Structure 1
Amino acid sequence: MTDLRERVARELLRTRQRSTVLTEAVDDGDLIRQHSPLMSPLVWDLAHIGNQEELWLVRDVGGRDPVRADIDHLYDAFKHARRDRPALPLLSPREARAYVATVRDKVFDVLERVPLEGNRLTEHAFAFGMIVQHEQQHDETMLATHQLRAGDPVLAAAPPPPSTVDVSGEVLVPGGPFTMGTSTEPWALDNERPAHLVDVPAFFIDRAPVTNAQYAAFLDETGAEPPLHWSRDPGGWLATAFGRTAPIVPDAPVVHVSFPEAKAYAEWAGRRLPTEAEWEKAARWDPATGRSRRYPWGDEDPEPHHANLGQRHLAPAPVGAYPAGASPLGVHQLIGDVWEWVDSDFTPYPGFAAFPYREYSEVFFGPDYKILRGGSFGTDAAACRGTFRNWDYPIRRQIFSGFRTARDRSPGELA
């Protein structure tokens, strides 16, 4: 148990360091400002992170008295739409920082004392892992808010690595059953569960996400609307990322496209978007063993040479930059770089059971939301697995979303 407690403590600290970077990078005026009606003020996200941590770890797991029960309604994401949050009597930046610090002190005390067994919330430190993932998800949301803010650049990171191998074309994924989802991943969330067999007919899928150059060709031929943050000058297409405008990187995955835009590109190319089951089979299925891996490269946790995750870079990497992260079938960059739209609604798996609360997944099931898989350069490894499911409205473009295409296998067609 000591090793598990130490791991949880490291993850809590590492995650909070990222939240601090994102909120300390701007002044108080920027923290309280709403940079887009699609996003909350950064100070709301910060206090919401602390409030969820208090609700689940201090009060529920720890059985402690509330720190600030009077603010619960302000930071309930279901009570107030994002566009309305600036009008609420929110904690000031100074108050929000003090609040999350107080909560975190109590959480470390709970972590030291609570048995990590005996019920589903504490078994394998699930509730702590859920809170780490929740904060990391809001960190990615805050990173998207930074992308939408006007003004001088305030975030910096090393450029992503260059391409080292040629990655083009498509691969055949053989037909047959595979295990989708998980029943064993300790910190997997309810919508990833349970593991179940899915029979997927043979299909072809792109070896890499669709690139800027490929998408630009689609724009030039069709006159479609460019991705969010793109503009054009006489020299070609430009993209603005975190306050810096530069020519698009031709071989980097396109980002900030909606589901309808991704689908339109696929139809223009004579292809289609993969289904969620196809995407996961391409990412996890090992033809040599017939089993499903945790990640395309195997069962070990992501390392920097596997994938572009965790805000180490502020852009997708060129295709071919992470050969060590490829799947057994030779599909690249399924994890990290850009969230990939798939042509599936957000629905429960057979045998789904909401845990620990309906509002995490169940209330979103239905045709209003489309699935995104694989994570982006802004997704942390703690909140990204081969089974992890993200969802959003199809029209969303402010998220770090891209795609790859697929097609059916014709009768008698060879790989």
Structure 2
Amino acid sequence: MTSPHPTGSGTPAPGDPDPEALRERALDALLTARARTALLTSCVEDPELTAQHSPLMSPLVWDLAHIGNQEEQWLLRTVGGREAIRPEIDGLYDAFEHPRAERPSLPLLPPAEARRYVHEVRGRALDVLEGTAFHGDRLTEAGFAFGMVAQHEQQHDETMLITHQLRKGAAALTAADPAPAPPFTGPSEVLVPGGPFTMGTSTEPWALDNERPAHRRTVAAFHIDTTPVTNGAYRAFVEDGGYDDPRWWAPEGWDHIRRHGITAPLFWRREGGQWLRRRFGVTEPVPADEPVLHVSWYEADAYARWAGRRLPTEAEWEKAARHDPASGRSRRYPWGDADPGPEHANLGQRHLRPAPAGSYPAGESPLGVRQLMGDVWEWTASDFAPYPGFTAFPYKEYSEVFFGPEYKVLRGGSFAVDQVACRGTFRNWDYPVRRQIFSGFRTARDAEAV
């Protein structure tokens, strides 16, 4: 099976007033997400859909029906005022009611029934889309509810892709590799000047509540890596005994790696003097020039300490990604306000791996920082917290219940993220022990440091 290429036109540009253009964008986002869902759930046999491939993940068939149930609840019942199709399954697919580890024991819809259900929901949702006016209600303004549902589906598609990476057996997904890139010979780091900038957004139509509102934030001058940390650089940390030296580790991280016997990134193993990794059912040498993948926050933090550096804060990351010193404004994306194209970033499951470090010069920020979008989610030093003036919308369980020091923020998106769920203000978060996610990092240092 081949991976889908993103065909959507992305989120609506701020201030897009044309209701038919908004309707077309919403339709395109929904169809692009559904094509990807179909691929991820059709490339394996039904027993693979109902199995739990890791206690960290749901069975694929749970994700499938959950996607449909959320679409039914928000687009059919809430926006469309339609009668419920399957109200009796709401509890089965409530992510807060049932932890992932126990979902295989639930009376889930079998694959064929789940497919029929999501198909029926989608048909009715498209009728709702056709008749919705994009004004007068915050949920439908600029098509927000439809964008929210498309983003939700794409986020679960990324989750299902993680499950495919965790499953044993032969490869079920294939995709072209990113274009080869010459070794990156640019500067290893970029100076980001100190001062204020605009963080977050109040105008991006499909931005989620935790991205809002826009506010002024001031950061001191700092240096940040031009590209994400590579496998080759991280391998030097491993081979220098980084996993055996408590000096580099936060106490909780040191306890975690010792307790679980962690000695390298997830899916790496050493064999015959060579580092190998397993990637979607294929074992291959670890490519030195790719951004390192499948590392926890603790691992990223330890590497940064070993290198005499640190992880950037979330505010520093966003300033490096969005701030344009020439105009003083914050862009939607590092390269400008235009939706991502294949020349800008590795997004949308177009490839099943990060591109070599230094790729996508057309996607660099005004200061010359590369690959801030796509390739790997990037851990930051920051806890997940609300912005000043935050208001939960349309429900507290999307963001508010996760605020706190238990979660660290990741930014930028990975190769598994669709453009509808990736922008300069988009915020992701996870526990600092998580490694199955498509996570990497880049490092920073204070400008005053020698």
Measured after TM superposition, the shift of residue 83 of structure 1 is 0.2
Q: Deviations over 1:66-120 (max 9, x none)?
A: 0100100000000000000000000000000000000000001101112111100
Q: Name the residue aligned to 1:16.
A: 34
CA distance in 2, matches of 1:113, 1:359: 28
Tell whether the 8 Å contact from 1:206 to 1:331 is kept in structure 2 after alignment: yes
Tell whether the 8 Å contact from 1:5 to 1:112 is kept in structure 2 after alignment: yes
Q: Name the residue aligned to 2:43.
A: 25
Q: Name the residue aligned to 1:398.
A: 436
Secondary structure (helix, strand or coil) at the match of 2:92 reads helix
Q: Which amino acid aligns with 2:162?
A: A
Q: Which amino acid aligns with 2:163?
A: T
More off after superposition, 234-243 vs 149-158: 234-243
Measured after TM superposition, the shift of residue 403 of structure 1 is 0.3
Q: Which amino acid aligns with 2:372?
A: L
Q: Deviations over 1:29-60 (max 9, x none)?
A: 00000000000000000000000000000000
Tell whether the 8 Å contact from 2:40 to 2:160 is kept in structure 1 after alignment: yes
Secondary structure (helix, strand or coil) at the match of 1:368 reads strand
Q: Name the residue aligned to 1:265.
A: 303
Q: Which amino acid aligns with 1:148?
A: L
Tell whether the 8 Å contact from 2:377 to 2:438 is kept in structure 1 after alignment: yes
Secondary structure (helix, strand or coil) at the match of 1:273 reads coil
1:7 aligns with 2:25: yes
1:322 aligns with 2:322: no
Q: Name the residue aligned to 2:251.
A: none
Q: Output aligned runs, 1:49-60, within 5 Å.
A: 49-60=67-78
Q: Name the residue aligned to 1:213.
A: 232
1:361 to 380, 396, 399: 399
CA distance in 2, matches of 1:134, 1:308: 20
Q: Name the residue aligned to 2:279.
A: 241
Unaligned residue ranges in structure 1 (runs of 5+): none
Q: Which amino acid aligns with 2:59?
A: P
Q: Name the residue aligned to 2:385.
A: 347
Measured after TM superposition, the shift of residue 223 of structure 1 is 5.0
Q: Name the residue aligned to 1:335.
A: 373
Q: Name the residue aligned to 1:283.
A: 321
Tell whether the 8 Å contact from 1:192 to 1:387 is kept in structure 2 after alignment: yes
Tell whether the 8 Å contact from 2:242 to 2:306 is kept in structure 1 after alignment: no
1:389 aligns with 2:420: no
CA distance in 2, matches of 1:167, 1:190: 37
Q: Which amino acid aligns with 2:208?
A: L
Tell whether the 8 Å contact from 1:167 to 1:208 is kept in structure 2 after alignment: no
1:67 to 77, 85, 94: 85
Q: Name the residue aligned to 1:129.
A: 147
Q: Output aligned runs, 1:77-156, within 5 Å.
A: 77-156=95-174
Secondary structure (helix, strand or coil) at the match of 1:75 reads coil
CA distance in 2, matches of 1:21, 1:314: 14
Q: 1:222 to 1:129 in 2, by over 3 A?
A: same
Q: Name the residue aligned to 2:343.
A: 305
Measured after TM superposition, the shift of residue 409 of structure 1 is 1.3
CA distance in 1, matches of 2:187, 2:105: 49
Please provide the CA RMSD for this pair: 0.9
Quote the sequence identity (%). Answer: 68
Q: Which amino acid aligns with 1:175?
A: G
Measured after TM superposition, the shift of residue 222 of structure 1 is 1.3
CA distance in 1, matches of 2:84, 2:113: 16
Measured after TM superposition, the shift of residue 166 of structure 1 is 2.8
Tell whether the 8 Å contact from 1:167 to 1:332 is kept in structure 2 after alignment: no
More off after superposition, 230-239 vs 130-139: 230-239
Q: Name the residue aligned to 2:211.
A: 192
1:227 aligns with 2:265: yes
Measured after TM superposition, the shift of residue 167 of structure 1 is 4.0
Measured after TM superposition, the shift of residue 168 of structure 1 is 4.5
CA distance in 2, matches of 1:375, 1:167: 23
CA distance in 2, matches of 1:352, 1:166: 42
Measured after TM superposition, the shift of residue 234 of structure 1 is 1.6
Q: Deviations over 1:345-396 (max 9, x none)?
A: 0000000000000000000000010000000000000000000000000000
Secondary structure (helix, strand or coil) at the match of 2:178 reads coil
1:371 aligns with 2:390: no
Secondary structure (helix, strand or coil) at the match of 2:345 reads coil
1:166 to 163, 181, 185: 185
CA distance in 2, matches of 1:291, 1:228: 39
CA distance in 1, matches of 2:372, 2:275: 26
Measured after TM superposition, the shift of residue 10 of structure 1 is 1.3
More off after superposition, 227-236 vs 290-299: 227-236
CA distance in 2, matches of 1:114, 1:378: 31
CA distance in 2, matches of 1:292, 1:132: 25
Measured after TM superposition, the shift of residue 238 of structure 1 is 0.7
CA distance in 2, matches of 1:12, 1:180: 28
CA distance in 2, matches of 1:168, 1:27: 48
More off after superposition, 353-362 vs 214-223: 214-223
Q: 1:266 to 1:37 in 2, by over 3 A?
A: same
Q: Which amino acid aligns with 1:275?
A: T
Secondary structure (helix, strand or coil) at the match of 1:73 reads coil
CA distance in 1, matches of 2:276, 2:405: 34
